[in-house]
Structures are given as C-alpha cells and as structure tokens.
Amino acid sequence: MQTCSPLQTLFEQVEGQALPLPPRLAHLYGALVFPAIPADRPYILSNFVETLDGVAVAHANGESLDISGSNEHDHMVMGLLRACADAVIVGAGTLRDAREHRWTPDYIYPPLASEYYQLRQQLGLAPQPLNVIVSSSGHIDLNLPLLQEAAIRSVLITTSQGRARLQQQSLPSTLHVLVASEQGPLSARAVMETLNRWQPCQRLLVEGGPQLMGHFLAEGLIDELFLTLAPQLAGRDDREPRPGFVSGQLFLPADPRWGTLLSVKRAGSYLFLRYRFARPAPASEQTAQIASIPSSA
C-alpha cells in the first residue's frame, strides 16, 4: 500500500536506545530513540496537533473541526507512537467527540498496519495497545464501536460513582472498569498507578484531550511531548475560546514549565516537534532551593 513520503529531520538530539523499527518505518520516520524506562513508573509520552496560533480544539455547529487537515504524516507519527505504547490514554471528552475512533496504530494509519504490528512484536507488546478512558462521571456510551471491537481491550478508569453508574448497564466483554478514587477529578498519578497495578506498563501515551493533559502536566507526569504544528490559523474569540493542548491548569507565573527540544522534523509546511519535560524536583528540594536563594534586601 502507498504511504506518505519520508519526514525530513532538521534537528535531533536524543540520548538512549533506538527502537527496532521495521525498515519501511525507519525510512519514513528515521531512528526513534527513547531513554531507558524509569525504575519507579512508566515513561509517559503525549501527542497533540495544534494550529500555528495554538488551537488544539475547535468546534462549529456541534462538530469537532479538523486541526491537522487529516495530514498523512501526522497520522503516520500518531500510529508510530501508538505502536510503541502499552496503552493509549484519553479523557472521556475526547472519546465523546470521536465516536468512531479506535486508539490503535492501524486505525489511524492503515498503510503501515503490518509494520506497526511487527514493531509491537519486537518490543514484546500485545498486538494492540490498551485503550484507556478516564472519566469521573462514568457517562460512557457502551455502544461505541470501540467497545464492540473484540481485538481491542479497553479500560475505563473512574470513580466509585462512575462504576456504580456503569454497573446499571451490561458491560461489553472488551471493557474492564477500574476505580482509582472515591471522587473525581482523579489525579493523574492515581490513573497511572491504577492502570499499572492492573497491568504493568513500560510506555504510556496520553492523547488528550486538554483537560486530561492538564492533569498529567500539573503532576509532572509527562516525560515527552510530540507536537505537530499544522500550518493553519484557527482564530478564537470570546464565544469560541478554542483551547490549546492544556486546559484547566495555570503554570505561569507560579510554576513555569520549560521543555527541551529533542527533535524537529518536517513534511511540506508541517513541523513535527518533540520536547522533553524534566521531572519537577520533589517538594522538599524545591523548599531547599527557595531557602538557598539569597535575599536582595
């Protein structure tokens, strides 16, 4: 099957080990290098697409608008990241908006289905990543196509109330419900630990949306961001705030977050950026650092 052209690498500085990409994937993406998996928790990737003016979510007439222009290179990269992950995690808002979607590599980019599958085999992963949905309310349509798909195992991470709501209906055999806390919103750490206890994972991929991403970033649980910059302007106004890929959290000025650029790739006018985010220092070290700043008074 015909695929997109190779991405052009403009900059790359990543330390670690290259994943064993099948030749066609290596030709299209280049080497994909990741640092070692941390000892204490899975390595957590995230992937978003934004317009040049920083819009990740836009709606008109109740329909979600296309941010990436259905770009083939973007889909190829999404498939690659899904192929490396034990699980893809999304918030319930993203699920409700993409009713037909399946968070698998071959669904987003069918031409490389067999390469993605080979890569997963090489990495010792299950044929498809777990599809993980996070919801406090448990308001999930159990008839969604994802939940009818025998080849995909889905996990809903929710509250006690969310589970009680779902248990009033008959659950599809593909869906497993895990309770992370009595009440929502769930902390990102509780989501990660609940999942990891149920099935130990090495690499997780957070695919949004902005609210869920905000929780993971706020808790210092995003190691890397893969960001596609689509060369369009979406605009925003008071009626259409159109968020970027973080909602519900303020970092500046109290808690600024700076990333380190790991790679820049290009296809036509699209840019594919990759940033690493350092883990925040433990609270005790932060207090010590503040205490050691000399007073200007």
Ligand X SMILES: NC(=O)c1ccc[n+]([C@@H]2O[C@H](COP(=O)([O-])OP(=O)(O)OC[C@H]3O[C@@H](n4cnc5c(N)ncnc54)[C@H](OP(=O)(O)O)[C@@H]3O)[C@@H](O)[C@H]2O)c1
Q: Determine, following the binding rule CB under 6 A, whether residue 79 of this chain makes contact with ligand X.
A: no
Specify the residue, 26 or 98, whose C-beta has the smaller distance to ligand X: 98
**8 A C-beta contact, residue 177 and residue 166:** yes
Give the range of 24-32, 178-186, 249-257, 276-284 binding ligand X by CB under 6 A.
178-186
Q: Can you tell me which residue has the tokens 């992937």?
A: 47
Q: Determine, following the binding rule CB under 6 A, whether residue 209 of this chain makes contact with ligand X.
A: yes
Q: How many CA atoms lie within 13 A of 78 on its CB side?
A: 25
Give the range of 15-23, 181-189, 196-204, 257-265 binding ligand X by CB under 6 A.
181-189
Q: How far, in Å, CA of 84 to CA of 226, rounded?
A: 13
Give the x-and-dash track for 99-128 against ligand X (CB under 6 A). Answer: ------------------------------
In eight-state DSSP terms, residue 279 is P
**8 A C-beta contact, residue 117 and residue 106:** yes
Nearest to 192 by CA among 184, 200, 105: 200
Q: Determine, following the binding rule CB under 6 A, whether residue 156 of this chain makes contact with ligand X.
A: no
Query: Which one among 42, 79, 105, 210 touches ligand X, defined by CB under 6 A?
Result: 210
3-state secondary structure of 150: coil
Q: How far, in Å, CA of 241 to CA of 281, rounded?
A: 33
Specify the residue, 138 or 277, whose C-beta has the smaller distance to ligand X: 138
- Torsional sign, CA 141, 145, 148, 149: negative
Binding to ligand X, residues 217-276 (CB under 6 A): 247
Q: Determine, following the binding rule CB under 6 A, whether residue 132 of this chain makes contact with ligand X.
A: no
Footprint of ligand X on this chain (CB under 6 A)? Answer: 48-49, 56-57, 64, 67, 90-94, 97-98, 134-137, 139, 184-186, 207-212, 215, 247
